[in-house]
Structure 1
Amino acid sequence: MTPEGGSPEDADVPTGSTPLEVEGLRKTFGGIVAVDDVSFDVEAGTLTGLIGPNGAGKSTTFNLITGMLEPDAGTVRFNGEEITGLEPHEIANQGLARTFQIARELEEMTVLENMMLAPKGQIGESLWRSVMPITREAVREQETEQLDRVWEVLEFFEIDHLADEYAGNLSGGQRKLLEMARALLTDPDMLLLDEPFAGVNPSLEKRLLEHIHELREEGYTFLIVEHDMDLIMNNCERVIVMHQGRVLKDGTPAEIKESEEVIEAYLGGEV
């Protein structure tokens, strides 16, 4: 069951709409063109894969979408609003959350402490709590609600038994679960997952996929960067192939498999 406390069903993003629209993104580093006129959109409630060889521009595209980098040209719209140039936390507050290829949890804090930092709009951060008793009470009520939700999300990802463990002691797969759990606590409409299965053993990979599919059935939208071709082809409704900084092909898994252009340029003549 999807954790309560906020979901895509709360937002006015009907299935069939395109919450994420990327148009003409370009980014250069010195004389190197990392992303060159990249355009695509992602339909609400779907699993979309973004694939390509190393250096294709996938992670740079993610960074441009989520405000980690500023594009030289192009626009990004989310839920109909332009978010190009916004700070990462501003984009996250719009409902667009992401994970990273290398998990970025706070290693010297416990799993539970990491989770408690994730919810947005925490009134306990306000200076008013020090001078207004009613606000202190509101803070206590909110913290209780957030703690309940944190435990619910930890249970959903089956890491509640690790709540008191320091994040730095977790395995690579457990860190992936923690990072996705933290992202879910921001009440996103859409999640961008950067190599969520890298370094994950087969049993944890299966659990992650189950969680992703369950969340998708509840209405969440996913864009996933992944190198594992079989995993993307077997789990995504749509696949975007990047090559040398550009979108080479955009279509269903069947269309990608049948594309001579993709087979020649990326798959080495074999799917």
Structure 2
Amino acid sequence: MSEPDAAPRQETAVTSDAIESPLLEVTGLRKEFGGVVAVDGATFSVAEGSLTGLIGPNGAGKSTTFNCITGIHEPTGGRVTFDGQNITGLPPYTLANQGLVRTFQIARELSEMTVLENVMLAPGGQVGESVIRSVTPGLRGDVVKAETAVRDRAWETLEFFEIDHLAHENAGNLSGGQRKLLEMARVLMTEPEMILLDEPLAGVNPTLEEKLLERIHELRREQGLTFLLVEHDMDVIMNNCEHIIVMHQGSVLAEGDAETITSDERVLEAYLGGDV
């Protein structure tokens, strides 16, 4: 792989103290499928407020690691800790309520619903309708107020990702890049502390790619959100992530900043085939 372009690195406020007290900590994670070991003792941590990259060749175990962290798969062994709490094996909806959410390689929008409706469905704990609320004036007012608040937040979120002009378009009619923006909007509506991004830029044109990266850095800067990013575009990883984790054959091979990773002979051999 070629060296990344000499684009300016994004500034980060992450310190060594933050890394010593991580928001997410994965320890000895293992996942077996029958006789196949997909993740084999992976151990790493993610600092609060950071944009951390997770890379590795195909079959390295990145997506399975994501799935084990976020409750899609139950780990065979190991431990996952988020914000000081053991979350190993908890289901995705429980993790979302605790502030840990993810996106997918292929966006999972509700295609027959509008963009606005997709975003409004995302927050948990909504009041909703019931027979009693519909016939009780005071309770009915609570429903209206709650729905108005969610709608207002949804519009603000669509504006943030610059897709508010698509609010009344069916989600199934969006382009691949627009669906990625919609998925990010839906995730943001859950009010997360940390977002795991599984190849968010795959199939996205350069203009939308730049927009997504700008929004990610703005969310870090303005809201203090933490991101763990799987991405095959090494220029994106090297120019945007201050800490990079390299997986190989289900385990963590190396960690460090871009300079450390690109000069690590083990990484060059495993990930780049020895071709600098």
Deviations 1:143-193 (Å, cap 9, x if unpaired)? 111111100000000000000111111000000000001000000001000
Quickly say closer, same or farther: Cα 1:133–1:102, change in 2 above 3 A.
same
Paired residues for 1:202-217 under 5 Å: 202-217=206-221
Matched, 1:237 2:239: no
Query: Aligned partners of 2:26 and 2:70: how far apart in 1?
Result: 11
Q: What is the deviation of 1:131?
A: 5.9
**Could you say which residue in structure 1 is the equivalent of 2:202?**
198
* Structure 2, gaps ≥5 residues long: 1-16
- By how many angstroms is 1:117 displaced? 0.3
Which residue pairs with 1:5 in the alignment?
none
CA shift for structure 1 position 123: 1.4
Q: Offset of 1:15 from its aligned partner?
A: 5.7
Moved more, 133-142 or 120-129: 120-129
Instruction: Find the counterpart in structure 1 of residue 5 from structure 2.
Output: none
Question: Partner amino acid for 2:185?
Answer: A
Residue type of the partner of 1:247?
V
Q: Where do residues 53-68 of structure 1 align in structure 2 (5 Å cutoff)?
A: 53-68=57-72
Q: 1:161 to 1:258 in 2, by over 3 A?
A: same
Once residues 219 and 233 of structure 2 are traced to their aligned partners in structure 1, the CA distance between those partners, rounded to angstroms, is: 21
- TM-score for the superposition, normalised by structure 2: 0.90
Q: What does the per-residue CA deviation read over 1:20-47, in whole Å, with 9 as the maximum and x for residues that have no partner?
A: 1111110011111100001111000110
Say if 1:90 and 1:174 are closer, same or farther in 2 by CA, change over 3 A. Answer: same
Whole-Å separation in 1 of the counterparts to 2:18 and 2:120: 31
Q: Deviations over 1:82-102 (max 9, x none)?
A: 111211100011000110000
Q: Does 1:246 align with 2:247?
A: no
What's the counterpart of residue 223 of structure 1? 228
Specify the alignment match of 1:8 in structure 2.
none
Structure 1 residue ranges without an equivalent (≥5): 1-13
Note if contact 2:57-2:270 (Cα within 8 Å) is conserved in structure 1.
Answer: no
Matched, 1:264 2:263: no
Q: Which runs of structure 1 show a deviation greater than 4 angstroms over 4 or more consecutive aligned residues? A: 125-128
> Structure 1 131/21 Cα, relative in aligned 2: closer, same or farther at 3 Å?
farther
Paired residues, what number?
Answer: 258
Report Cα offsets for 1:79-133 as digits up to 9, x if no partner. 1111112111000110001100000010111101101100122112667534643
When the two structures are superposed, what TM-score results if normalisation uses the length of structure 1?
0.92
Relative distance call for 1:103 and 1:41 in structure 2 (3 A) is same
Seen in structure 2, the aligned counterparts of structure 1 residues 193 and 53 have a Cα distance that, compared at 3 Å, is same
Q: Which secondary structure does the structure 2 equivalent of 1:124 belong to?
A: coil
Query: Which residue identity is paired with 1:86?
Result: L
SS in 2 for 1:123: coil
Native 8 Å contact 2:157 2:185 kept in 1: yes
> What is residue 160 of structure 2 aligned with on the other side?
156
For structure 1, which segment, 87-96 or 129-138, has the greater mean C-alpha deviation from structure 2 after superposition? 129-138
Q: What percent identity do the matched residue pairs reach?
A: 69
Amino acid at match of 1:83: I
